[in-house]
Structure 1
Amino acid sequence: MPGRLAHKAALVTGAASGIGLESSILFAQEGANVLLVDVNLEAAKKAANRVLEKYPNVKAIAFKADVGKEEEVKAAVDTAVKEFGRLDIMFNNAGIMHPADDNALNTEEKIWDLTMQINVKGVWWGSKYAILAMRENPTDEAKGLHTGGSIINTASFVASMGAATPQLAYTASKGAVLAMSRELAMVHAREGIRVNTISPGPLKTPLLMDFLNTAEKRDRRMVHLPMGRFGEAVEIAKAALFLGSDESSYMTGIDMKVDGGLTSAYVTPTGEPVLPPPSSLI
């Protein structure tokens, strides 16, 4: 039985770890060829080798690119098309949360600019060059392949909620991703190019755990999580797999919140949470 992404080609940014790595593994599991893009080439190579060890029948190629540089984003998309013959899924996942990001009074302009360069411009450029590539996709009715494709952008629950533990540049950048993605979805809907966002809740990934580097910081967040735990990167990857597949063919312009109920909460439950997450996720 063919996989859910059989014959498709995907590009994942920030692919060396966390959500990007788990998504690359799931995409390959479901039959996609994957270009694993990361600013750290050695880490991307290790990630690609990990994918190939599990799924040797697909292509998994590491590529170095800084998504904060337009020419490098374009080169990544061009490489995916050259290697795979098309681009069906663009997962603009790379992003930063700078440890010096603070409130409006204390965040330095250089931190603001760096965050916007990577988190906002990187998504803009990734979407731009993915759209140009997806317009040229060859049609193969037998394989269910057409022009168009799926662009998935990583936003965050902070795009919809305020927090008294400020990270102003990051929060503003993710709000921009959310608004930009909605507009892209409307502009390109008639081309068969779908654009959706995923808004993860707090995850047990290096990006957040490095930021929440004390028990006090972690506990401050945990009280607000209805499920009583941080999410796992693979739980976001499963949402990306759905949005990248034809199962979500009538969905565009949506924000999929994968946040353990956080954005729906006013008063959180009491009692002991079920920990750890189901073993099937790991």
Structure 2
Amino acid sequence: MYRFLLTSRWWGINVFVLLAIPFCIFMGSWQLSRFQARVDSSHQATKQVETDRTEAARPLAELLPVDQNTSGRQTTATGRYGKQLLVPDRQLDGKNGYYVLTLLRTDDGKALPVVRGWLPGKPDAAKAPAAPTGEVTVTGSLQASETPGDNGVSAQGGLPSGQTAAISAASLVNLVPYHLYDAWITLDKGDSGMTAVPASAPANTGLDLKAFQNLGYTGEWFVFSGFVVFMWFRLLRREVEFARDAELGLVPEDENDENEEAAHATV
């Protein structure tokens, strides 16, 4: 009854199944390991942000360019405040509001974007406290330039004058008359009564969309391996039924041939 397993067609089916199942399991396990690595990275990054707050601040020049090792580190810079902008649609503690962003002009001729704090409600330049005058020294957490569309950063264009959607050199270059650092800092203590903006974890270390894509791919690979096994048993049962019916004379030879051809076409 099972002599059909020795045919070339079934040899091909069996070889495919024996290769496909371990391949699917391997790919699913690999995607799962990628997700787990992102989970571990997220936990480590969160702990690192807390650790960075207690470290002594270092000069800005020592921490540039910003990378995963320097993002979130305490830094200090000296200069004079210049142009001020508002960053709308920023949430803090579940409330919607905006950042007050002021450019700090340093002695080397560049300007450093400084988030002096957060205010609730819609952006209002009249309510945003003016920056201190004269030379100031600021201390805060170093952050990498934002990318519009990532991690909740708005990609909205056409904002009113005096506003920017993202805090990055690319977004600010046409808004301010300064050469810019490709970085920004958020003050440890909110300036002029504003709420301080917490530092965020470095890019590609959180549980973002890519992390959950890895988890989704894990499920897809495991489901596909189960589907391969299901189809193998389905074809096997179909062939056994045809063979049993043929032995009992319940299926004419011609009809049996047609059924076999239909089974071949299904594969």
For the criterion TM > 0.5, the same-fold answer is no
Short-chain TM bin? under 0.3
Larger-gyration structure (1/2): 2
Q: Which has the higher strand share?
A: 2
TM-score (norm 2): 0.25
